[in-house]
Structure 1
């Protein structure tokens, strides 16, 4: 006999976690964000320095500044997602406004000619590293029903556990299942309570076999996805110039995650024998996290025209918390509408995520005051990403899946700058390999950039435009029996504006 719990509106999840590989990849990747000069050259700054956002790549870049400087950056972005679902096509465009970075480097020039250190620098910066804002809409006609999602979660669970007692509310039982049985049991309860599935023997409280009230056939399906939020970091930087030719630096980074997502899936059918003709399934996710990483780097001035750089960024160790809410609404041509809307927030136990380290090698060729060309190569082994917890959850299966599914990925960035008096003209190209061994899940990302800047003396103003594209297959419900997905072609373009000051 189940024990009845009073509803406390918070369900502390146990037994089954809801994280998957897409979470690991989402929080491990970084976009090319930062100052307009940095973005105008596609982020190829590892051997250059002298820009606030260059510290993201190589912390030695702070010591390249000739004097104390600061900058602030704003941008507008647009994301166009074209979805293909069973040869039905739809396009969705969304725009947003971002505060990308603010920071300053304070430079101390050593007047002691006998010292090895010609210059010391201290930097303080905030940088947005990832933009999660996007949305898409997919629609099409499939012969797979979402009933398989609820059926697979229900099989093996005794009917007694999914049945409300006299006077027990939907909220109370949903909350009880979350506390005692986990997320999967909650999904089974939603499916049964909304009449999508039912026990094959309703008279047997121990029966654990279920069937669907949705008859086979064809289904008209819609899927809406919207996400907002960002990943950012606060950096304390220290750098030094040694013997005119060598630059070294270190970053201590404090990271944060703020990610929200809502998905809504609709399915309709007129199949013969189907007791349920419409299903609307809504899920909301809210994620916050905090983490730490460190970076070290160096730049050597081989000659007046050639510079080499190398840097290493440690893994980022995150502590992450997630909350979800759900609702299911069904409609039957014979019996009308059924709404299951638990007034419960699922609070998952805090877990840890270790994202992969990154190594970068860089080369830059400078043509005096006329301009420069720069190239960066970075490598990340995404298969080393790892979930962990303080005893609440076992992530061993998920970590093995990460090892088998993800791979090491290279990133190449090339940028150039041409100067004419106080004007600067910039361009760049970027290429990033897929972190997945199966590139149909998430393809390579390529990008182009252009920029222009004017130096007023004490003040600099820069503008950049950058564009990137990437293909992916978006699963509606990862790691479930309902395996339907939509193919997305994603196109992003951004306008970035930076005001720089010589302090």
Structure 2
């Protein structure tokens, strides 16, 4: 006879203990290729070009390149395809979403004094969805070695039994909550009935295989609102500054299911488990950018830009559900797990500092017929920091990021060719993995193309961008770290309307 145990927790629990991970830091440290259709079509290689609303995100001096006031809005459709391979079993998950990705404008003021070397001043405001978090993955397959019991054991070992018996989920920190769930769902047992016991054993039978399913869905955005000012000196040197406001809203839903085919041995032997987790993160941040563009000759331009770290203040809310099935209705009595109502853990506000970025650029202008542009950027992900840094948990996490993450480079190449009012564009993008092992998150390769038509005071641009990247991250971060190899393919179509005054 089987017994079903469902731990379903409601309410609010305020906790000072952190539950952040490296992938949480990377989520806000990496940007997608977003912006106007022209910017996307040329893979974002605008550091020495300017003259585009999204170029301000690479080099803020770019607004001083504009000849006239300009306003623009970009519509965007992105589709993701995630191919998963878990122990040889292949699955595919797709999703598609539409958004207004960019909106902004630049005002240009020409200096009327003929004896001044400062010829132009510009100000701009631009919003962009710096990162679109909408994505879904599904993995399934048979694992012949490891079970989710390792996850709960890794948290339980070292926790006295009396802590799990005398407290409710609500009153425990994050680590002990995981042990509490495993204990009350009968997935793990103490090595003895001594209330000071700190060792635990698995109640999942060995000798068989484990069929796993893991479904994960994320949604939300990371927005960036830039306030820009730039000027030009003798129409040869352009200097600019951005003050950026960042805001994020992110949700991740994951559901892991396990069923084993091992022979049942004792009462309360676990036959299957479903473990659901939901994370909600929201907050805001600030960064600044400095940049310069120089006309080396009439055809050749060089650019250099610095983007500061982004300093975030973030909030996390975390909810868990655990469901297990046992082989017998008899066995040790630990009380009714249903006695605890559902609880959402609300953690203390924490700070995150993302790495800074330096971009060097070159562009060659072929008169009025076209151009080619190259950007090369460096970002050191090992400098990512959770704060306060004197917190023991954050110290350990920051040390791990310093050991695992790397100094990376990014290459962007873009070209444009004009046939009267028609512009043809293409681009290439390569971004190194933020991990030293280059497998947890792989390198990114992207291609793009597009076209634009100039109607005079109105311009319409269309682009298509393709990007591919593989990841190999565990379903859980400790104890049970097996995961699927996932290959993500992103297809992005953007349409921009520009108006000049």
Q: Within 5 Å, give how 1:185-200 maps onto structure 2.
A: 185-200=176-191
Q: State the match for 2:394 in structure 1.
A: 395
* Contact 2:293–2:304 (CA under 8 A) maintained in structure 1: yes
Deviation at 1:106, TM superposition (A): 0.3
Q: State the match for 2:162 in structure 1.
A: 160
* Contact 1:330–1:339 (CA under 8 A) maintained in structure 2: no
* Contact 1:42–1:414 (CA under 8 A) maintained in structure 2: yes
TM-score (norm 1): 0.93
Gaps of 5+ in 2: 1-8, 331-335
1:213 aligns with 2:196: no
Deviation at 1:392, TM superposition (A): 6.4
* Separation (CA, whole Å) in 1 of partners of 2:198 and 2:303: 62
* Contact 1:327–1:341 (CA under 8 A) maintained in structure 2: no
Instruction: Indicate the SS of the match to 1:47.
Output: coil
* Contact 1:330–1:338 (CA under 8 A) maintained in structure 2: no
Deviation at 1:234, TM superposition (A): 0.7
1:476 aligns with 2:475: yes
Instruction: Indicate the SS of the match to 2:401.
Output: helix
TM-score (norm 2): 0.93
Q: State the match for 2:128 in structure 1.
A: 127
* Contact 1:260–1:286 (CA under 8 A) maintained in structure 2: yes
More off after superposition, 238-247 vs 192-201: 192-201
Q: State the match for 2:4 in structure 1.
A: none
The size of the alignment, in residue pairs, is 483
* Contact 1:350–1:389 (CA under 8 A) maintained in structure 2: no
Q: Within 5 Å, give how 1:353-502 maps onto structure 2.
A: 353-389=352-388, 394-478=393-477, 480-502=478-500
More off after superposition, 49-58 vs 324-333: 324-333
* Contact 2:433–2:443 (CA under 8 A) maintained in structure 1: yes
* Separation (CA, whole Å) in 1 of partners of 2:123 and 2:11: 47
* Separation (CA, whole Å) in 1 of partners of 2:306 and 2:54: 16
Q: Within 5 Å, give how 1:43-442 maps onto structure 2.
A: 43-142=44-143, 143-163=145-165, 173-178=168-173, 183-202=174-193, 204-216=194-206, 217-273=208-264, 275-335=269-329, 342-389=341-388, 394-442=393-441
Superposed CA deviations along residues 14-72 of structure 1, whole A, max 9, x for unmatched, are: 3x421121112111011110000000000000011000000000000000000110100
Q: State the match for 1:40 in structure 2.
A: 41
Gaps of 5+ in 1: 1-6, 165-171
* Separation (CA, whole Å) in 1 of partners of 2:348 and 2:392: 8
* Separation (CA, whole Å) in 1 of partners of 2:127 and 2:157: 49
Instruction: Indicate the SS of the match to 2:472.
Output: strand
Deviation at 1:338, TM superposition (A): 7.8
Deviation at 1:472, TM superposition (A): 0.8
* Separation (CA, whole Å) in 2 of partners of 1:200 and 1:407: 42
